[in-house]
Amino acid sequence: MLSFIARRLGLLIPTFFGVTLLTFALIRLIPGDPVEVMMGERRVDPEMHAQAMERLGLNKPLYAQYLDYIGKLAQGDLGESLRTRESVWSEFLTLFPATVELALAALLFAGTLGVLAGVIAALKRGSLFDHGVMGISLTGYSMPIFWWGLILIMFFSVGLGWTPVSGRIDLLYDIEPVTGFMLIDTLLSEEEGAFVDALRHLILPAIVLGTIPLAVIARMTRSAMLEVLREDYVRTARAKGLSPARVVFVHALRNALIPVLTVFGLQIGTLLAGAVLTETIFSWPGIGKWLIESIGARDYPVVQNGILLIACLVILVNFTVDILYGLANPRIRHQR
Amino acid sequence: MNTTTQPLRAEAPLAEPVALYPSPLKEFWQAFSRNKGAVGGLLFMLLVVFCALFAPWVAPHNPSEQYRDFLLTPPMWLEGGQAQFILGTDELGRDLLSRLIHGSRLSLLIGLSSVLLSLLPGILLGLVAGFFPRLLGPSIMRLMDIMLALPSLLLAVAIVAILGPGLNNTVFAIAIVHLPAYVRLTRAAVMGELNRDYVTAARLAGAGLPRLMFVTVLPNCMAPLIVQATMSFSSAILDAAALGFLGLGVQPPTPEWGTMLASARDYIERAWWVVSLPGLTILLSVLAINLMGDGLRDALDPKLKNAV
């Protein structure tokens, strides 16, 4: 097992450097030079321009610039935002919990509903319910989620007035950010109604963000379940006279869930990408909205290192899923 | 299934001399048309393609003409609707149906060109990676893994953010994002084929590397690639619309489905049709292509039937 982890870790390092190379190159690909971009559209005095180039180390050869960049990263220096003058890292830390909260809520929604629908569809293979689930999940998979969000807002917020249109919490409440997770912070703050308000803000974005994972998980659970239900041990369990519920949920589902869990892990990337759209629609103050706003404001340090941070996150999640998968399935561990 | 029908056909060779085996095309169509959803998807896409090809003749109005007296007119079946604007008008008084029809041109164009732009280099890199498993292969695959570390839409957003918004950069960004899938798929298929006897035979017969790559091996790797091309066609349309929605794709006033949605956001309380219809068009087109993709997969590559 240790050698398996070591091998995976070994693969991680070149990937990490590759990503830094990518984010480094991204900034160099901007038409025009970074100093002109930073100083705005007005004409830049050549002397000041040269000074800025010198200060930022942009007059050095490319490999030296890259080494500088890596060196700064190693010291935990991710640069500062051009707009707020705050460090990119601290901005990321304040906004990140909001995205995690949203993503977890979406995964919870997609996971419970998706596994349940997938199991029932597999058990009633060929039935109307099965066809319905498969149809709906293909529709969900094809969904432009930015539109889906607008439709839900139009129906539930504007039409019925059940949920708020945007944000994480009503302005009436002054919540101390202790954990960064609004649901926990509102409980800690003991302000009346704050928790329910936060929950109502969370529901629609979570549904929107969870729609595509829901479709994928339902399809995956169904096909994994169909495969497992054919196995001998399921027949044996039935023959032993175990209750149908026990056979399905203990004997079959546990094995069917292994591939589904992998899909869960792979969906993290989809969730982060989806968060960009969902957060933009619902004005959810997370890293997705932060990134899009920074792009609009040409705040390149934020764009560059925000993307780097997200990529590292995805790499780490994939690594963890790999390791967990190796733990659950020895055959993977001993490959090659 | 064919084992029962073939003796029957063989008994009447005079009437139908060639029908001993159905032609590959006919066989494919039989398998494809068994999937009702796929046929439905195909029909819808044919309609969309027709609209895209003949947009100026199909569309009732010029997509950018502003009828100032008819701002936000509802669809014709609603109260206040006008017969000349079947699906109503947008905030500038432009005919929605005409804009949707012209938008189909753009979406199909982006889909098609980005698929081609990633399919061809993808196949080439995948073939190279499969044929040179020592040094070149692993380095190509490592590069693809790096690209896969970024969620697809984010990578596209990053590329467009740097290169600037617009049609060409949208196509380019989407093509780059889809490249790793083709490389991986081609390489996996090539690795599977390389040990087969027919490849060894071709090698022994003196086939050179280009011939081995493109004539011997590649045709046998096409099935999963065609399926993947269909699937990435639909996600290209989705990604292009998402970029347009974020203001990073095709710029207004060009009638692009995602861009239309972005400008419709402000009218969410008053005019449901400007919000609903462009998105519904995106959803239906993407759904139709995905249904077709399912049918293609069942017909071309039965092994993948249960994959997601």
Provide the terminal-to-terminal Cα distance of chain A, rounded to the nearest Å.
Answer: 14
- Going by C-alpha positions, the residue among A227, A310, A239, A238 that lies closest to residue A269 is A310
**Which portions of chain A are predicted below pLDDT 70?**
30-44, 56-57, 328-336
User: Which A positions 295-324 lie with beta carbon below 8 A of chain B?
Assistant: 295-296, 303, 307, 310-311, 314-315, 318
With H, G, I as helix, E, B as strand and everything else as coil, classify residue A50.
helix
- Going by C-alpha positions, the residue among B94, B100, B95 that lies closest to residue B55 is B100
* Disruptive mutation site among B248, B251, B287, B308 for chain A (greatest number of A CBs within 10 Å): B308
What pLDDT is stored for residue B16 in this prediction? 52
What pLDDT is stored for residue B213 in this prediction? 86
User: Which A positions 145-174 lie with beta carbon below 8 A of chain B?
Assistant: 146-148, 150-151, 153-154, 158
What pLDDT is stored for residue B18 in this prediction? 52
Helices (H), chain B: 2-11, 24-33, 36-53, 55-58, 96-131, 136-148, 152-163, 167-194, 197-204, 209-210, 222-245, 257-264, 272-300
Cα–Cα separations (whole angstroms), residue A237 to A123, A226, A253, A329? 16, 16, 13, 22
At the topology level, CATH places domain A94-328 in MetI-like fold (1.10.3720)
Report yes or no on B236 lying in a domain.
Answer: yes
Q: Of the candidates A31, A147, A307, which has its C-beta nearest B279's C-beta?
A: A147
* pLDDT tens-place values along chain B, 308 residues long: 444 444 444 444 455 555 567 777 888 888 888 888 889 999 999 999 998 898 888 888 888 878 877 777 788 777 777 777 878 888 787 888 888 888 898 889 999 999 999 999 999 999 999 898 888 888 888 888 888 777 778 888 888 877 888 888 899 999 998 999 899 889 988 888 888 899 889 989 988 888 888 888 888 888 888 888 988 899 899 989 988 888 888 887 888 888 888 888 888 877 888 888 888 999 999 999 999 988 888 888 665 554 44
CB contact under 8 A, B150 and A307: yes
What pLDDT is stored for residue B288 in this prediction? 93
Chain A's closest residue to B308, CA to CA, is A220
What pLDDT is stored for residue B19 in this prediction? 57
The amino acid at residue A88 is: V
Residues in chain A within 8 Å Cβ distance of B153: 273-274, 276-277
Residues in chain A within 8 Å Cβ distance of B143: 18
The amino acid at residue A108 is: L
Report yes or no on B238 lying in a domain.
Answer: yes
CB contact under 8 A, B283 and A142: yes
Report yes or no on B25 lying in a domain.
Answer: no
Distance from CA of A241 to the nearest CA of B (A): 30
What pLDDT is stored for residue A236 in this prediction? 87
Q: Of the candidates B151, B287, B294, which has its C-beta nearest A314's C-beta?
A: B151
Number of domain units in chain B: 1
Chain-centroid distance of CA A332 in Å reads: 26
CB contact under 8 A, B150 and A276: no
What pLDDT is stored for residue B8 in this prediction? 47
Domain that holds residue B241: 35-58+89-300
Per residue in A89-103, pLDDT (tens digit) is 888 888 888 898 899
What pLDDT is stored for residue B153 in this prediction? 82
CA trace torsion A300, A306, A311, A314 (10° rounding): -160
List the domain boundaries for chain A: 1-75, 94-328
**What secondary structure letter does DSSP report for A165?**
S
Please name the residue that has the structure tokens 């869960």: A264
Sign, CA dihedral A62-A68-A71-A75, equals negative
Measure the CA–CA gap between A208 and A144, rounded to whole angstroms.
10
Report yes or no on B11 lying in a domain.
Answer: no
What pLDDT is stored for residue A205 in this prediction? 92
For A95, how many CA atoms within 13 A lie in the half-sphere containing its CB?
24
Cβ neighbors of A127 (< 8 A, separation 6 or more) are: none
Residues in chain A within 8 Å Cβ distance of B161: 295, 303
Helices (H), A84-230: 88-123, 128-141, 145-152, 182-189, 194-229
A98-131 as b/e: b if 16+ CB within 10 A: bbbbbbebbbebbbeebbebbbbbbbeeeeeebe
